[in-house]
Amino acid sequence: MSTDNKIIIFDTTLRDGEQSPGASMNTEEKIQIALQLQKLGVDVIEAGFAAASPGDFDAISRIAEAVTKSRICSLARALEKDIKAAGEAVSKAKMNRIHTFIATSPIHMEYKLKMTPDQVIKKAVEAVQYAKTFCEDVEFSCEDAGRSEVSFMKEVLDAVINAGATTLNIPDTVGYRLPTEMGAIIKSLHDFVGDRAIISVHNHNDLGLAVANSLACIENGARQVECTINGLGERAGNAALEEIVMALRTRKDHFSGYETNINIKEIYPTSKLVSSITGIEPQPNKAIVGKNAFSHESGIHQDGVLKHTQTYEIMSAKDIGLDKNSIVLGKHSGRHAFKDKLNSLGYELKDEEINEAFERFKILADQKKDIFDDDLRALVADEITKIPQVFELVRLQLSDCSPGGLPSAAVTISHEGKEITDAAIGNGTMDAIFKVIDRVCGVSGELRDYKVDAVSQGKDAMARVLVKVVFDESKPAIMGHGLSVDTMLATAKAYIGALNSYMSMRERLRTIKNHTSEGI
Ligand SMILES: CC(=O)SCCNC(=O)CCNC(=O)[C@H](O)C(C)(C)COP(=O)(O)OP(=O)(O)OC[C@H]1O[C@@H](n2cnc3c(N)ncnc32)[C@H](O)[C@@H]1OP(=O)(O)O
Ligand SMILES: CC(C)C(=O)C(=O)O
Ligand SMILES: [Mg+2]
């Protein structure tokens, strides 16, 4: 690997990431994440801010002992007590670093620190010198560099290099800068510093530009990027590690020669671990690790991806440690994806069966947000076991299920090309449904059994209703089943299904009798 273009990945999930409201982690959880970051291959782990609390100090010390392949670092203000705590916390690490900082922007110096620029330079130098008494590797940050004067930063950087700083971090603390501006700042500082120290960047995402700014900085001489898993961090977060790494890798044509030590197969497991520990899930459409990052919902895309993944994918889900991409069936899906999904569930249907099941799937997808495998199995079972539709339910309308009201049901049923509409009152809604169907169809069924269960998960799960009905006392009870997101509609469908089975059975018996009497 060319050392010139090696990009040092500095992960600050455990420090800046933890500054995300609600992301506090306990020591055991931090150790678990640190070990995973080591597996991911990050070069430097900023494990916390040792002076912040005894818990932070303890977590950093324990991580320093547990992790051997990544450098362990603690943040510290430009204050002796902070630096001492940081130095002690990282002392047991195989490779350690102290990261000290002070703000260099006019607004921070005047209002927050209440210091003159000269006092800031003096503090910065003293901090680096003191940090050097604990470890060789000292990083210095010009906090709020994005709003600092470049000429002043050059003075500060020159002074801290002479004091022994080995990495100079240029944070856009409030995420104010645009990529071209950050690129220009880094170019100017890199030209000034030369090979006296490594230039690092630390971009915040207030304008959604943290990753774009980090990439622009790399192109202009930065050789360390500070970032977090899932882009966690103060306010709108930090630059997301996974996005920077995958951009460098996927656009190698542009970022020619740049390399990181990241084992990209560990990206997804790391993201999952961080979200499960912090309870902060990346937004579904978040690049690389969002739930939808490798999912395809629309038919044209699904068809393309099934024919050749790269029609709609610039990275492979497998690369980042995900099992595979996913084809999510929904209202925008087409036949290719539908058929592929059925094949994967083990169904080999004829084209016309697929077409019919597909039409019913589209109707279902309009009513239901998530279509689960069990929904599809139920649809297909319905299709395969389909019996001739002597009576077909066209419409069902229910009214007044309130206590003391008169439950009634109105139906439109199609029979031999005609639509018949009628209504009935019952002892309950179901009774009204059965009564009106009996009346329209000219039968009198007696319900012997009724079962309803949810086909899949969620509040909008489809209901599968099973009925057992006797239409003729001399014949056994006939089963019927109905599927719908609405239980009463499924009930009506089940009853009509049983009736259709009865009609087709009667028809078969009649044919057999006729054949027998004709002597066959
Ligand atoms: C951009 C960043 O992410 S910076 C890192 C942010 N992280 C944290 O703040 C970690 C958690 N923080 C804490 O636990 C606490 O703020 C502590 C323990 C660090 C300090 O707590 P306190 O001593 O009570 O001070 P408090 O946080 O209220 O105020 C900060 C003080 O540090 C000063 N200060 C801020 N940055 C620096 C610096 N880099 N170097 C020296 N002094 C600094 C402020 O001017 C202020 O000083 P003052 O008391 O003289 O006005
Ligand atoms: C302490 C520094 C590096 C920081 O987090 C920032 O400036 O955003
Ligand atoms: Mg920060």
Quick one: which of 455, 462, 420 has its CA closest to 437? 420
Q: Which of 383, 410, 443 is the last residue of a domain?
A: 383
Q: Kindly state whether residue 145 falls inside one of the protein's structural domains.
A: yes
CATH number at residue 395: 3.30.160.270
Same domain, 256 and 300: no
Quick one: which of 71, 80, 74, 44 has its CA closest to 61? 74
Rounded CA gap, 518 and 520, in Å? 6
Q: Give the position of tokens 């029609």.
A: 311
Number of domains in the chain: 3
CATH number at residue 133: 3.20.20.70
Write out the binding residues.
16, 202, 204, 238
Quick one: which of 71, 95, 100, 70 has its CA closest to 85? 100
Rounded CA gap, 413 and 433, in Å? 12
Instruction: Name the residue of 204, 206, 225 whose CB sits within 8 Å of the most ligand 2 atoms, as the mutation to test its pocket.
Output: 204
Instruction: Name the residue of 25, 73, 107, 113 whose CB sits within 8 Å of the most ligand 1 atoms, as the mutation to test its pocket.
Output: 113
Same domain, 374 and 395: no
Same domain, 222 and 307: no
What is the reported pTM?
A: 0.82
Same domain, 23 and 162: yes
Q: Is 51 in the pocket of ligand 1 (CB under 6 A)?
A: yes
Quick one: which of 117, 81, 79 has its CA closest to 100? 79
Q: Kindly state whether residue 290 falls inside one of the protein's structural domains.
A: no
- Residue 304 Cα distances to 214, 324, 339, 436, angstroms: 33, 16, 14, 48
Same domain, 15 and 99: yes
Quick one: which of 233, 139, 154, 140 has its CA closest to 187? 154
Rounded CA gap, 98 and 92, in Å? 13
322-333 burial code (b ≥16 CB/10 A, e <16): beebebbbbbbb
Same domain, 104 and 238: yes
Quick one: which of 172, 193, 194 has its CA closest to 183? 172
For residue 157, what are the contacts with CB-CB under 8 A and spacing of at least 6? Answer: 140, 142, 165, 168, 189, 192, 193, 197
Q: Kindly state whether residue 519 falls inside one of the protein's structural domains.
A: no
Same domain, 377 and 401: no
Domain span at residue 353 reads 295-383
What amino acid occupies position 284?
P
Q: Is 174 in the pocket of ligand 1 (CB under 6 A)?
A: no
What amino acid occupies position 478?
I
Quote the DSSP letter at residue 204.
Answer: B
pLDDT of residue 1: 37
- Taking the centre of ligand 1 as the mean of its atom positions, its distance from the CA of residue 113, in whole angstroms, is 10
Same domain, 82 and 207: yes
Rounded CA gap, 309 and 326, in Å? 11
- Taking the centre of ligand 3 as the mean of its atom positions, its distance from the CA of residue 449, in whole angstroms, is 65
Q: Which of 383, 404, 427 is the last residue of a domain?
A: 383
Ligand 2, atom 5, residue with closest C-alpha? 16
Residue 15 CA, closest ligand 2 atom number: 5
Residue 141 CA, closest ligand 2 atom number: 3
Q: Kindly state whether residue 74 falls inside one of the protein's structural domains.
A: yes
ipTM (interface pTM): 0.98
Write out the binding residues for Mn(2+).
16, 202, 204, 238
Rounded CA gap, 107 and 190, in Å? 24
Ligand 2, atom 8, residue with closest C-alpha? 173
Ligand 2, atom 6, residue with closest C-alpha? 173
Same domain, 235 and 370: no
For residue 123, what are the contacts with CB-CB under 8 A and spacing of at least 6? Answer: 78, 102, 115
DSSP 303-323: HHHHH-GGGT-SS-GGGGT-S
Same domain, 336 and 434: no
Same domain, 439 and 322: no
CATH number at residue 352: 1.10.238
Q: Kindly state whether residue 286 falls inside one of the protein's structural domains.
A: no
Q: 227 pairs with which residues across the strands?
A: 11
Q: Kindly state whether residue 285 falls inside one of the protein's structural domains.
A: no
Q: Kindly state whether residue 16 falls inside one of the protein's structural domains.
A: yes
Q: What is the CA radius of gyration of the chain?
A: 34
Q: Kindly state whether residue 287 falls inside one of the protein's structural domains.
A: no
pLDDT of residue 372: 82
Same domain, 209 and 62: yes
Query: Which residue positions in the chain have pLDDT lower than 70?
Result: 1-3, 383-386, 400-401, 508-509, 511-520
pLDDT of residue 517: 54
Token pair of 194, please?
A: 């030369």
CB atoms inside a 10 Å sphere around CB 133: 12
pLDDT of residue 476: 76
Q: 399 pairs with which residues across the strands?
A: 408
Please count the CA atoms within 13 angstroms of the CA of 397 that sit on its side-chain side. 5
Q: Which of 383, 409, 439 is the last residue of a domain?
A: 383
